[in-house]
Each structure stands twice: as C-alpha cells, then as structure tokens.
Structure 1
Amino acid sequence: MIACYAAGGGLGHLTRLRAYLHTLAVDDEVVVLSDSPFAADPRVSSGWTVRPAATGLASLAPDELVVDAFPAGLKGELTRLPSGIRITHLARLLCWDAYRPLLPGDPPRFDRTFLLEPLDPAHEAHLRAVSAEVAPLVLDDPPSAPLDVHGWMILHSGPDAETLELVGYARDMAAMEGADPPLTLVSPHRPDGLPAGVAHLDVYPAGPPGPGVERIVTAAGFNAVRQFAPWRDRHRMLPFPRSLDDQFTRAARARPGSTP
C-alpha cells in the first residue's frame, strides 16, 4: 500500500498525485491523506481511499510514503516518519525563504526525491542533503478526452476572487487586441458575479484543449504551466501571490525565450 501525504486545501496537490501515480504505473492500493474538499470528487480521487491529513502513518503501515511538495509538511508537521518504509518526495518550486523557517530541527529524510521542475538553489541543496537519491521526473497525466470550446478558455479552481480576476484579465486582453472571442470558464463551480456572456463548465480533468480553443488563460500554478506547455503559444498566465508557491518565477520561466 502507498500512502500519499498531500496537505493543503487546493486541487493542485491531488492533480499532481494523479499524474505521479500514472507516470510510475502504480497499481498498489493508494491511501491519500488530504483535507482538500476536492478529494471528495470521484473524478479526482477515483480508485483512492481518502483519509484526513492528520491520520497516523503508523496505523496505516504503508510500504511507501509519498510526501508532496512540502518536504516537512505544510507547516513543518512531519517530524517523525515511520521507519522501515520507502519515503519519496515530490519537489516543486517553493518560496524557499518563507518555507525554510518551518523545517524542524531533524527534518525528514527521503529514499528518493523527484525534482518536478527547477527549484531555488538553496531548496535543492537541502533536498540533496536529506535524500539518498535525487532525480528529475517529467509527469504524464492519465489520458483524458480533449476539452473543446469555441474561443478562449479560462481555467481556475478558485478562490472566486481569483477566478473573477482571471476572467477580467482575459476580457482586458481581448479588448486590447480588438477581439471579441467567446469566453468559457472551466471551474468547479460558477462564481457569483461572473459576467453575463461568459459560459461556465465544470469539467475535470480539463484538457487537453481541443481544436476550437484559441486561447488558454490560467494562473501560474505547477499543473497549469506543465499541462499546457505544448500549447504555450496559446497560453497566457496571470501569476497570483502565494505564501509558499512562487508563481511569478514559474511564469517568468515559461515565457518564450526564457531559460529554466
């Protein structure tokens, strides 16, 4: 059995775990420790057993523990991990200066760490110091049907204020270009205040884009940047401030002509 520790309330951790388990062709029982409300959606968590993030690992007795994104948990709560199991860490870009003070005095050690994107040098140095093996890993999502809409597609899982800001960004961009494309918001729910004329779809997974999609508008979260990289010429990002996720650096790296 594989236990996956995915503290955090968003959809991104769960989407990343789906891709990781598919990439490594995991066919063992999977228990995901998460308090995210999205974990209750069978489209997201089909095939998993979901338990609260505070579930004791000793009671689960997994063969492997996968720790997503935060090497010591969201708040530095992972201080004593069970011995005798393989521990894997999935590393993505963090605001390392903000996260580093959360590390406990004796931080978790990993049998292997997968680097999912370039990290802050100090972040990577820490992971190399606490990991027996460090290697890059390119994630591959489970196959899904194309999502085809006519015009521009805006994708975000919330909160509503950010979703509406992305819609406003798309509308402003269209006005600056002298365009009037149909706009479709793909989001788990329709936010209050969505402008008239903007269609809404609740679809998961949201992609790959079909031939009718002329523009893709997202924030600069890990999954959005990764999943829409093949359509970078059509993809526009509006990074949002996060306490621990550096969306601004990720968006800058994704610009045409930039280097990782």
Structure 2
Amino acid sequence: MTTAYYCMGGGLGHITRFAIFCRHFTLRPALLTNCGLVRSGMIKPDAGPIMIPDEADSIDLDSFRTWISNAIECCRPDTLIIDAFPGGILGELCDLPALKGIKCIYLARILDLSAYQSRLNGALPAFTKIYRIEQLGDEQQNWLQTLQAPVEELTLPYNSRPVDEKSYHIELPYNCWLIVHSGSIDELEQLWQFACQTAEVEELSPNFAMVSPGKKPEFLPETVAHYNCYPADSLIEQADRIFSAAGFNIMQQMKGRREKHLVMPMKRALDDQFLRCRLANQR
C-alpha cells in the first residue's frame, strides 16, 4: 500500500502538521509540497519521494493541475491524504481524473470558508474519511457534513515530538519572553511591538528573544537574541511567555499552557486566525 500526502501552503504550518501526523500514524508517504524551506533544504522531511513544483508549474490553475496529475501518476498512491484544502489550494483537485480509484482522506482545520469556496469550480474528491483536527466554526462544520464522509476527531500529539538537537542545545536567558513566528518581517515587527507594549503596561523588564526563519530582523536591538532553528520546542518549553500569531500549530502546542501564551491573530487568505482565537477563548 502506497500513501501520498498533499501539503500545499505557505509558512511552516502545513509541513509541521505533516511531520506530526506521519509520526502519529507511523507513515513515510510520498510528499507533494511547495514549502520554501523544504525547497531550500533547511527542512528535510522524512518522506519519499518529495515532489516540489517549479515556479512554472504553479503559474496558473491549469499548469498546477497538470503538475499535480503528473505527481500522482508518478507515485501511484493507493491513499492520498489532503491537508487543509479539500479541493486543493487553488481548486486544482476538483474533478481531477488522476484521483480516480484513489482513497482520499481530508484533514480539516479552520478555513476562511467563503474565500476558499470562491476558488472551487467542480466536484471535490470523494473522501473515505475526514479527520477534524480542531474545533471548527458552525458554518464550516455544516459544510463538512455535506461532504458525505465519516468524520473522526483527531488530536495531533504536539507534546510528544522528538528531541531536536539544535533547539535543545540552546539555553534561553532568565525570565525570557519569546516571540515565535514564521511569517513576514512586518508581522514579526508587529509581534515584537506587542511584546514590548505588554511589558511596558505590566511594568516588567523581561529578557526578550525571537525564533523565526532566516537572519535576525534589523529592527531587533542588539541585546535581543534571535534563533533560526526548527522546530523550536525546547525554546517554547523554556520561555516564561510566548508571543505568536494564531496559526493552527502554535495554538495546538500551547493549548495546555494558555496562561503564558499571548496571541495576535493575523489576516490570512484561506485561514481564519480570528475565529480560531475566539473559539479558544470560549473553552
């Protein structure tokens, strides 16, 4: 039996979820991804083969459908696990002939449903199972029922990840407030200002640190440590407070430690971090 995993989307969220899902189910599937950090070699997923579209393959919907079809034909999976976007990130999986005879499983997390549905033009894959991996809004939950597949709750084990040598050899400063984010420089600066303003309001003087891909942002003072490591589990464990956006992974990871987690939801094209934050606050 051969399994492939569809893992398209920006940032680190999709590829992080891929790693945790595969570890949970002891899978080593073929991986279809456009993650820039996989492309650059910074992240080396435990998968085989790994298929990454070129820029020309992603230039428009037709080109991307062709690439996806060829990738599926290349690995000939019995099962395709589709992360986050049931019809593909652009709608490329709708009415896709290459999926005929393939068992499709959908990992359902929060979507900006109206924005996502505007990308769909055709029938979604016929799913044999849906894993709901977080609480959804009522509208999306009702839509999920129309897909006519059994829905199973799945809580991914974010607190049972293997030791990462890089982060586990880093010791944070005493009383450290850590900013964790893999987004743009502008978003990193917003989180930095959020952390500074929180310290000012509370009349505290913590040590600050930041973990994010790439080089240290220029706006950070020299006294603030910056770490370019992935994953950052050890740093998160050591920190006295965590400042982040409201992406799926960090919200799952911090679910049992909400007292030290301060969240600034960010606007996303297909995710709804504001809804995720509201639902978390209702629990």
User: May I ask how many residue pairs the two structures share in their alignment?
Assistant: 255
Which of 92, 99, 111 is matched with 1:77 structurally? 92
The answer for the alignment partner of 2:128 in structure 1 is 111
The answer for the alignment partner of 2:181 in structure 1 is 156
Cα-to-partner distance string for 1:3-52 (whole Å, 9 max, x where unaligned): 111121221000011111112122xx422111111223454514443212
SS in 2 for 1:127: helix
Cα-to-partner distance string for 1:149-207 (whole Å, 9 max, x where unaligned): 23111100121110111111101111111111111101112223223322101121111
Report the Cα distance in structure 1 between the residues aligned to 2:251 and 2:44, rounded to whole angstroms: 19
The answer for the alignment partner of 1:90 in structure 2 is 107
Shift of 1:113: 0.7
CA separation of 1:17/1:210 partners in 2, compared to 1, >3 Å: closer, same or farther?
closer
Aligned residues of 1:113 and 1:131 also touching (Cα < 8 A)? no
Matched, 1:65 2:65: no
Which of 263, 266, 280 is matched with 1:240 structurally? 266
Mapping for residues 1-260 of structure 1, pairs under 5 Å: 1-26=2-27, 29-40=28-39, 41=41, 43-53=43-53, 54-55=67-68, 56=70, 57-79=72-94, 80=96, 81-141=98-158, 142-144=161-163, 148-150=171-173, 151-189=176-214, 190-209=216-235, 212-255=238-281, 258-259=282-283
TM-score of the superposed pair, with normalisation by structure 2: 0.83
Q: Structure 1 counterpart of 2:5, which letter?
A: C
Aligned residues of 1:65 and 1:86 also touching (Cα < 8 A)? yes
Report the Cα distance in structure 2 between the residues aligned to 1:8 and 1:77, rounded to whole angstroms: 13
Q: Structure 2 counterpart of 1:233, which letter?
A: E
Shift of 1:130: 2.2
Shift of 1:84: 2.2
Q: Structure 1 counterpart of 2:222, which letter?
A: A
TM-score of the superposed pair, with normalisation by structure 1: 0.90
Aligned residues of 2:137 and 2:275 also touching (Cα < 8 A)? no
Most deviating of 189-198 and 133-142: 189-198
CA root-mean-square deviation: 2.0
CA separation of 1:35/1:176 partners in 2, compared to 1, >3 Å: closer, same or farther?
same
SS in 2 for 1:149: coil
Q: Return 5+ residue gaps in structure 2 as ranges.
A: 54-66
